[in-house]
């Protein structure tokens, strides 16, 4: 890799300055304008101009390329363990993608622009065949990393911020599965078909909790009226805190338990015995892994009930019906672990319950 040198210039006043000009990986000339030089590309000292070039080109000791910064990002700016794992997984899937002939990992963060982010979006939708929701999630992780890189003065702008991907984007071959809303009566009938796993399935229908939050529930989390949600399970590991699907952190929350489910949970805890830490376990006494849960619990319940309900649809149904029933938005958002705006935008769906009211008002 050839090391670029500053360009010497003489101002009209006769003063000699050094311009931190360099040829970037895209073959074009750029001016390095670090924040420590107040965003200017001219320097009184050649050494300072050289430092700016080296930082911009990734030749300094600082992790200035996307790949180098990514390697230490979650250590520099740690989130919850679950969020760190999600961000690392998302970005790790793209670092070897070529952008204008250069792997993304080799691009200096200072040189990345919005056009490069749009190239990545095109690659994710057309080449990899991702759904729009998956591409949006990756952009969120890249944007979060870029914001931290700005804080560390590794780059000056966030090229991933504000990029919109429409759900109807024609490039997306993999379409998002529609969310369906089921009544509580339907969901309770579904849970009853689970047999000895009825309490487990009904926890989804009656609390709106996520799969990863239900599996690691402990007896100590249940006080007879509420469940304390403070952990999440992923591939057999229990992580502290929970991760939402929309970039929000949820350190822990309290979820009310309806009377019938409370009775079922008490019976389940008593059946397990005092030596069992978890509320729900496999026949061998271990925590359910996601794939085994679907194989041994959820899919057999779908077949037995004749209802093709998915776990996350229980969450959407829970929020939709309770809000339609008059539950306060702020309280409901706190229970499900979201900001009010996210809950209203993502988890509230029409159920046609207002038709009679509309007809009576219109006359």
pLDDT in tens, 77-133: 988 777 888 899 999 999 999 999 889 998 988 889 999 999 999 999 999 999 898
Backbone angles phi, psi at 218, to 5 degrees: -110, 160
- Domains of the chain by residue range: 7-44, 66-151, 184-346
Average pLDDT over residues 66-77: 91
Q: Which has the closest alpha carbon to 241: 87, 84, 72, 92?
A: 84
pTM of this structure: 0.62
Average pLDDT over residues 165-171: 89
Q: Per DSSP, what are the bridge partners of residue 29?
A: 23
* pLDDT tens, position by position, 197-250: 999 999 999 999 999 999 999 999 999 999 999 988 887 888 877 755 445 555
**Is residue 256 scored above 90 in pLDDT?**
yes
What does the pLDDT look like over 185-196, one tens digit per residue?
Answer: 999 999 999 999
What integer pLDDT is reported at residue 278 of this predicted model? Answer: 96
Q: What is the mean pLDDT of residues 279-284?
A: 95
Band of the pLDDT at 4, cuts 50, 70, 90?
confident
pLDDT (mean) for 65-80: 89
pLDDT range class, residue 363, cuts 50, 70, 90 = low
Exposed, middle or buried, 112 (CB in 10 Å: 0-12/13-18/19+)?
A: buried
Please determine, for residue 59, whether its predicted confidence score (pLDDT) is greater than 60.
no
* Overall average pLDDT of the 267-284 stretch: 94
* Mean pLDDT (whole number) for 322-344: 89
| Average pLDDT score over the chain | 88
Q: How far apart are CA 353 and CA 333, in angstroms?
A: 21
DSSP 8-state symbol, 227: E
Give the confidence band of 60 by pLDDT, cuts at 50, 70, 90: low
Residue 36: the pLDDT is: 83
Name which CATH class applies to 184-346: mainly alpha
What is the structure's pLDDT at 89? 92
pLDDT value at residue 1: 45
Predicted local confidence at residue 209, as pLDDT: 94
- CB-CB contact of 70 with 145 (8 Å): yes
Tell me the C-alpha distance between 159 and 143, whole Å. Answer: 8
Mean pLDDT to the nearest integer, 35-41: 86
pLDDT of residue 55: 77
Residue 191 CA to residue 5 CA, distance in Å, equals 70
For every residue of 233-288, DSSP letters joined together read EETTEEEESEE-TTS-EE--EEEE--HHHHHHHHHHHHHH-TT--BSS--TTS-PP
């Amino acid at each position: 890799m050839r090391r670029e040198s500053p360009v010497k210039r003489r101002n009209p006043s006769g003063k000699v300055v050094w311009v931190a000009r360099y040829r970037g990986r895209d073959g074009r000339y750029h001016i390095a304008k670090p924040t420590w030089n107040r965003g200017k590309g001219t320097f009184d000292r050649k050494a300072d101009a050289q430092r700016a070039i080296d930082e911009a080109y990734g030749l300094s000791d600082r992790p200035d390329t996307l790949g180098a910064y990514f390697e230490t990002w979650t250590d520099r700016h740690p989130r919850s363990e679950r969020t760190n794992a999600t961000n690392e997984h998302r970005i790790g899937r793209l670092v070897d993608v070529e952008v204008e002939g250069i792997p993304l990992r080799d691009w200096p963060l200072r040189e990345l622009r919005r056009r490069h982010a749009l190239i990545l979006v095109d690659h994710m939708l057309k080449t990899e065949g991702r759904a729009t929701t998956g591409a949006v999630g990756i952009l969120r992780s890249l944007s979060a990393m870029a914001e931290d890189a700005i804080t560390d003065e590794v780059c000056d702008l966030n090229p991933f911020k504000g990029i919109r991907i429409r759900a109807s984007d024609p490039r997306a071959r993999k379409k998002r599965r529609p969310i369906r809303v089921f009544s509580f009566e339907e969901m309770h009938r579904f849970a009853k078909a689970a047999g000895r796993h009825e309490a487990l399935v009904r926890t989804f229908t009656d609390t709106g909790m996520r799969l990863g939050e239900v599996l690691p529930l402990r007896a100590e989390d249940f006080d007879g009226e509420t469940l304390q949600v403070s952990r999440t399970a992923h591939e057999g590991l229990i992580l502290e805190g929970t991760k939402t699907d929309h970039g929000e952190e949820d350190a822990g929350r309290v979820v009310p338990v309806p009377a019938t489910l409370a009775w079922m949970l008490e019976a389940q805890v008593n059946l397990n015995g005092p030596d069992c830490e978890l509320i729900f376990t496999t026949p061998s006494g271990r925590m359910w892994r996601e794939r085994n849960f679907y194989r041994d619990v959820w899919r057999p319940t779908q077949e037995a009930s004749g209802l093709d309900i998915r776990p996350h649809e229980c969450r959407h149904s829970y929020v939709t019906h309770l809000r339609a029933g008059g539950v306060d938005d702020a309280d409901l958002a706190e229970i499900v672990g979201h900001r009010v705006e996210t809950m209203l935008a993502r988890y509230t769906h029409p159920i046609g319950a207002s038709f009679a009211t509309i007809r009576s008002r219109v006359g």
